[in-house]
Amino acid sequence: MTYPVQKTDAEWQAILQAKGAEAVAYQVTRHAATERPFTGKYEAHKADGSYHCICCDAKLFDSNTKFNAHCGWPSFSQAVPGSISEITDRSLGMTRVETVCSQCGAHLGHVFDDGPAPTGLRYCMNSASLNFSPS
C-alpha cells in the first residue's frame, strides 16, 4: 500500500528522535511492534484535546472518544473520518484488524468490535504511535 507521506527508515528515525518520541516508537510505528500493556504514557491520560500520529502529525482521535477499556493500551470508540486505514492481520496465529495512519502508514494498533455504543468499536492503540495536542 502506498501512502501520501513517504520517508526512508533513516528519515523516520530522525523525525521520531527530534520529537522526543518514546524509545519503542520506531519499532511500533514502522515495524508493527507492540508496547507492553500498562506502560504507555497515554494509557490513563485524560486531558481534553486530540491525538495525532507521532510520525506525520495527522489527527487521528478526539479525546472525547477515549475510554478506559482496562486492556492496558489507550482505547478510542471512534477515529477521525478518513484518518485510519485497516489491514487484515493474520500474525500470531489469529486474525485481527490492524490500524495504520492513512497518511504515512504508521502502525497504530488494532481495532476490535467490543467497544461501547454507539460505534461498538475499540481502537486499541500503542501510546508510542501517538502524540497529544491539548485543546
- Name the class of domain 9-134: mainly beta
Residues 65-77: tens digit of each pLDDT: 999 999 999 999 9
pLDDT (average), residues 14-35:
96
Domain residue spans of the chain: 9-134
Q: How far apart are the first and last CA of the chain?
A: 33
User: Which one is catalytic: 53, 55, 104, 124?
Assistant: 124
In b/e form, how buried is each residue of 105-116, taking b as 16+ CB within 10 angstroms? Answer: bbbbbbbbeebe
Residues 49-97: tens digit of each pLDDT: 999 999 999 999 999 999 999 999 999 999 999 999 999 999 888 899 9
- In the chain, the percentage of residues whose pLDDT exceeds 70 is 100
Q: Are 59 and 49 in contact (CB under 8 A)?
A: no
pLDDT (average), residues 28-51:
97
The grid coordinates of residue 54 equal 507521532
124 is known as an active-site residue: yes
Residues 6+ apart with CB under 8 A from 26: 12, 13, 16
